[in-house]
Amino acid sequence: MSAEQQERAVRCLVAKVGLDGHDRGAHVIARAFRDAGFEVVYSGLHRAPEDIVQAAVQEDVDVLGISILSGAHNTLVPKVIEGLEEYDAFDDTLVLVGGIIPDEDEDDLKELGVAEVFGPGTPMEETIEFIRNNVPERA
Amino acid sequence: MAGPDASAVADAPTLSEADAALVEDLLAGSHRALARVITKIENRTPGYRAIVSALHEHTGGADVVGITGSPGAGKSTLVDKLAAAYRERGDTVGVIAVDPSSPYTGGAVLGDRIRMGSNVGDMDVFFRSMSARGQLGGLSTATADAVKALDAFGKDLVVLETVGAGQNEVDVVRTADTVAVLVQPGSGDDVQTLKAGILEIGDVFVVNKADMDGAQRTVAELEEMVHRREGGTTGRDAGHHGATSTAPTGAGGSSSDHGDGDRAGGSGHSGSDPHAGDSDGSWTPDVLETVANTGEGVAALIETFDAHAAYLRESGRIAATERRRYAEEIRTLVRAAVGSLATAEIERHGGIDRLAERVRDRETDPYAVAEAIVGPIADCVDEAADGDAGD
d(CA B95, CA B117): 14
Q: Are B205 and B180 in contact (CB under 8 A)?
A: yes
Nearest CB among B32, B105, B337 relative to A1 is that of B337
Report DSSP state, residue A17: B
**B122, B100, B119, B95: which is closest to B110 by C-alpha?**
B100
- Most trustworthy range by pLDDT among B131-140, B261-270, B307-316: B307-316
Per-residue pLDDT of chain A (139 residues; tens, 9 = 90+): 333 456 678 999 999 888 888 888 888 999 999 999 899 999 888 888 999 999 999 999 999 999 988 888 888 999 999 999 999 899 989 999 998 899 999 999 999 999 999 988 899 999 999 999 999 877 5
With CB atoms and an 8 Å threshold, state whether A60 touches B35: yes
A42 to chain B: closest CA residue: B111
Phi, psi of B263 (to 5 degrees): -70, 125
Say if residues B331 and B317 touch (Cβ distance below 8 Å): no
Closest by Cα among B32, B151, B55, B134 to B96 = B151
Are the Cβ atoms of A47 and B131 closer than 8 angstroms?
no
B186 close to B212: Cβ distance less than 8 angstroms? yes
Q: Which of A41, A45, A85 to mutate to test the interface with B (most CBs of B within 10 A)?
A: A41
Beta bridge partners of A117: A97
Tell me: the pLDDT tens digits for B16-47?
Answer: 888 999 999 999 999 999 999 999 998 888 88
Q: Range with the lowest mean pLDDT among B76-85, B200-209, B216-225, B265-274? A: B265-274
In chain B, alpha helices (H):
2-10, 17-27, 31-43, 48-55, 75-88, 138-153, 167-173, 188-194, 198-201, 215-231, 278-281, 298-314, 317-348, 352-360, 366-390
**Residues from chain B contacting residue A57 (CB–CB below 8 Å):** 31-32, 35
Distance of CA B350 to the CA centre of its chain: 35
A63: left (phi over 0), alpha (psi -120 to 50) or beta: beta
Domain A11-132 has CATH 3.40.50.280: yes
pLDDT at B264: 36
Q: Following DSSP, what letter does each residue of B293-317 receive, concatenated?
A: TTTBTHHHHHHHHHHHHHHHHHTSH
Closest to B120 (Cβ–Cβ): which among A47, A59, A89? A47
On whether any CB of chain B is under 8 Å from the CB of A137, the answer is no
Rounded average pLDDT over B384-388 = 81
Helix B352-360, helix B366-390: angle, nearest 10: 130
**Per-residue pLDDT tens digits for B302-360:** 999 999 999 998 988 888 888 888 888 888 888 888 888 888 899 998 899 999 999 99
List Cα–Cα distances, A97 to A118, A132, B305, B329, in angstroms. Answer: 6, 16, 43, 42
Mutate to test the interface with A, among B109, B124, B347 (most CBs of A within 10 A): B109
B344/A contact by beta carbon, under 8 A = yes
CA angle B210, B215, B216 (to 5 degrees): 120
CA dihedral A33, B113, A82, A27 (to 10 degrees): 30
- Name every residue whose Cβ is closer than 8 Å to that of residue B342 and which is 6 or more positions away in sequence: B373, B374, B377
Domain ranges (residues) in chain A: 11-132
Q: What is the 3-state secondary structure (H, E, C) of A87-131?
A: CCCCCCCEEEEEECCCHHHHHHHHHHCCCEEECCCCCHHHHHHHH
The answer, for A104 touching chain B at a CB cutoff of 8 Å, is no
Cβ pair B79, A9 in contact under 8 A: no
pLDDT at A90: 92
The identity of residue A34, as a single letter, is R
Are residues A5 and B44, on separate chains, in Cβ contact within 8 Å?
Answer: yes
Strands A63-68 and A94-99: parallel
Complete edge-to-edge strand list for the sheet that includes strand A39-42: A116-118, A94-99, A63-68, A11-16, A39-42, B108-110
Where residue B146 falls (left for φ over 0; alpha for ψ -120 to 50; beta otherwise) is alpha
8 A C-beta contact, residue A34 and residue B99: no
Rg (CA), chain B: 22
Q: How confident is the model at residue B73 (pLDDT cuts 50, 70, 90)?
A: confident
Interface contact A30-B101, CB threshold 8 A: no
Q: How far apart are CA A10 and CA A63, in angstroms?
A: 8
3-class SS of residue B221: helix
- Report strand pairing: A11-16 vs A39-42: parallel
Chain A nearest-CA residue for B19: A139
> Given CB atoms, is A34 within the 8 Å cutoff of chain B?
yes
Mean pLDDT computed over B91-119: 80
Query: How far from B50 is each of A32, B17, B23, B140, B325, CA to CA, in Å?
Result: 36, 11, 10, 18, 20
Residue of A nearest to B97 (CA): A59
Rg of chain A, C-alpha, whole Å:
15
Residue A55 amino acid letter: A
Residue B368: per-residue pLDDT:
93
Q: Which residues of B touch A3 (CB under 8 A)?
A: 337, 340-341, 343-344
Residue A38's H or E segment, with its range, is: none
Residue of B nearest to A41 (CA): B110
Bridge partner list, B183? B207
Closest-CA distance, B317 to chain A, in angstroms, reads 33
Nearest neighbour of A50 by CB, restricted to B35, B110, B121:
B121
Q: How far is the C-alpha of B14 from the C-alpha of B135, rounded, in Å?
A: 26
What global pTM score does this model have?
Answer: 0.79
3-state secondary structure at position A6: coil
